[in-house]
Chain A
Amino acid sequence: ETGVTQTPRHLVMGMTNKKSLKCEQHLGHNAMYWYKQSAKKPLELMFVYNFKEQTENNSVPSRFSPECPNSSHLFLHLHTLQPEDSALYLCASSQDNWREAQHFGDGTRLSIL
């Protein structure tokens, strides 16, 4: 138990579907992150939120839309995804900023049909 919970654990969706990934952290942290992990590739940072404000968008296509309503919750809204978007999506949090120790959720394994 890392204190970061992601739902769902697995998601299969068609290219025209709309779905959302949810992340919740119980660590009292103020920074939250979305990462993408594709097969045989290093983790890629997608978005960073500090105190609910987005501070990093790592050139992510607009079909991925993040939302951070408060410091404990982070969502990733998915729309019109492509097969190459199939991957493990990991959420992480740290105390205040990107330099600090990051703690990850168990991930959502996403498959696009």
Chain B
Amino acid sequence: GIQVEQSPPDLILQEGANSTLRCNFSDSVNNLQWFHQNPWGQLINLFYIPSGTKQNGRLSATTVATERYSLLYISSSQTTDSGVYFCAAPHGSGNTGKLIFGQGTTLQVKP
């Protein structure tokens, strides 16, 4: 099945800094999702991004499907950005399939 790898596994930033998180996937996909899980366990869908670039406030994501990677950019980081960031790629066909999640990048933003 498809492999999803994220890097770096851990990241510590000073508030206000920018960062880039990477997601590599082993097979061609037609969409990619990014999620943020806060320290209380709440998992929020940040982006559903088949290809190209999407922006949402200080966050943006780019997926280059032909090269099998996606990037999540966080600008002017805030302490509330802390948590774990997951990417997930679809695996399956027809009515049977599932999202395969990466191991996550744990981000800590220090004040």
Q: Which residues of A contact B (CB under 8 A)?
A: 2, 42-43, 45, 48, 50, 55-56, 58, 88, 90, 97-104, 106-107, 109
Contact = CB atoms under 8 A, between A and B. Distances in A.
B99 A98 contact: yes
A98 B43 contact: no
A55 B94 CA distance: 11
Given A50-B95, A99-B97, A107 B102 contact: no
A98 B88 CA distance: 12
B103 A42 contact: yes
B99 A45 contact: yes
Given A55-B95, A99-B90, A101-B33, A43 B45 contact: no
A101 B45 contact: yes
A104 B35 CA distance: 10
